[in-house]
Structure 1
Amino acid sequence: MSLLKKTGILYIVPTPIGNLFDITYRALQILKEVDLIACENIKHTNILLKYFKIKNTLTSFNKNNEVQKNNDLIKKLKKGNTIALVSSAGTPVINDPGYLLIKQCHVLNIQIIPLPGPCAAITALSASGISTHRFCYEGFLPSKKKSRCDLLHSLKKEKRTMIFYESKHRIIESIKDIINEIGKNRHIVIAREITKKWEIIYGNKAELILSWIKEDQNRYNKGENVIIIDGYKELKNINISEKIINTFTILRNILSLKQSVFITSKIHKINKNILYQYAIKKEEK
């Protein structure tokens, strides 16, 4: 049974970000039945179509030809054609071409039907163990160091969970900048190769994430990365006596944070969480 309701519709069709079985039955049916598939990479999309034995007409629609192709696609839609918009992987328009086309469809009252489906940012967030109640998506970190550092510095006190994309080529430098601009103790999660054979999701303090990446070159020379950064936690004023601070400081110079907190709490009978908050606040200054 056909899923197309009428002609002159732009379908936004998410495709797998790795595992081909993540595509929906509805997406496959739409890809079979539309008049045209506008895709970011014809060769890449053909692999998907061939796997599911789908034959259809494809046209290139990427960042290099987006402006000139917009008018062509709009003309086809106005004539009553149905078009599926797909990116190389994941949900179209998220860091991919298509925004201008969709905006023009709204202006011209051309119907747009979005399908739900894969998105690396949301998939990684769901498994991160970091709060999902409020978050912001920042896309790819800037490739130039100064721009990257400026952006990270501006987000140091962002309270929402932050999601970024980063390439294998810059992951180490970006983690270093996160340490310098946001803090070595901020909890972050790296999600690599989501849904693929070598998928890995790992979270820790930023400085320990850097060490972890450097341990194995496969962690920085292959695949795409999603970086998830825990939001800024505004700590209330912590009133700790000078005596307690002196004890903690002496111990911290020779012991780990965990050991220093444990011993200080035992000596002065103070709640360990208060000491942890004091230590975090001090180290983030």
Structure 2
Amino acid sequence: MTAAADHFVRDDAAAPVEIRFDHVSKTFGRHGTGDLFRAVDDLNLEIRSGELVAILGKTGCGKSTMFNMIAGLLEPSEGRVMVSGHDPFSQFDWFRGKIAIVFQNDRLLPWRTAIQNVALGLEMLGISKAERFATAQHWLTKLGLGGHENDYPHALSGGMRQRVSIARAFATNANILLCDEPFSALDEMTANRLREEFARLVRENGKTAVFITHSINEALQIGDRIVVLLRPAKIAYDVKLERDASAAANDEVRARIRQVLAV
């Protein structure tokens, strides 16, 4: 079951394809049995450069499996995943500094200050100390954490820690950002502010972002495009959104998504 985007479509056809799933399936063996579990089934998907795509679906629909294949952590059982023209699994080392991940929890190192945590990716890329700390400071300030550079994670609120995590992702200047429900553990007001800031930074800096979520409202708030999955990861609805869409237009998309997910 698929659906056209109707009046929500923007013309992004001129942008190159950054992420491609070409007839991708992924199966896992069930522990202690000879049975196979199919998490992704003949998936075809193209994400173009500069898109912020929300991948939406119920728990267990295959979102995380897709995410891990884009990140090069899993190999497809069938078909092919290509990212920036390369195979992320077999050419994993090529992607150093080219993909950044924002996780569900902040994954900050407790023995490092905020600025040291943001600078970590740059340190791993061999950037000089002066340059990596200048870059880290820039992104901490941009995310409203000026003055907290030398605070350790235990002294920061949950929202502040996730801001550090976002700063760390942007600091590497990776072209592709992968986000695995990064705001789900935060209170709604904090999450709402961070969604808006994250989406703005993605667009201002010309990044391509894949945002995993199970929240319809979050997908509508953050995405240029929403891809709804049903289990095993098959596209049930794929819609592009106008950023200045009316409340009525968004309500129409919300109703369609609910209809799809109710199947």
Q: TM-score, normalised by structure 2?
A: 0.31
Which structure has more strand as a fraction of its residues? 2
Q: Relative CO higher for 1 or 2, CA cutoff 8 Å, sep ≥ 6?
A: 2
Q: TM-score, normalised by structure 1?
A: 0.29
Structure number, greater radius of gyration: 1
Which structure has more helix as a fraction of its residues? 1
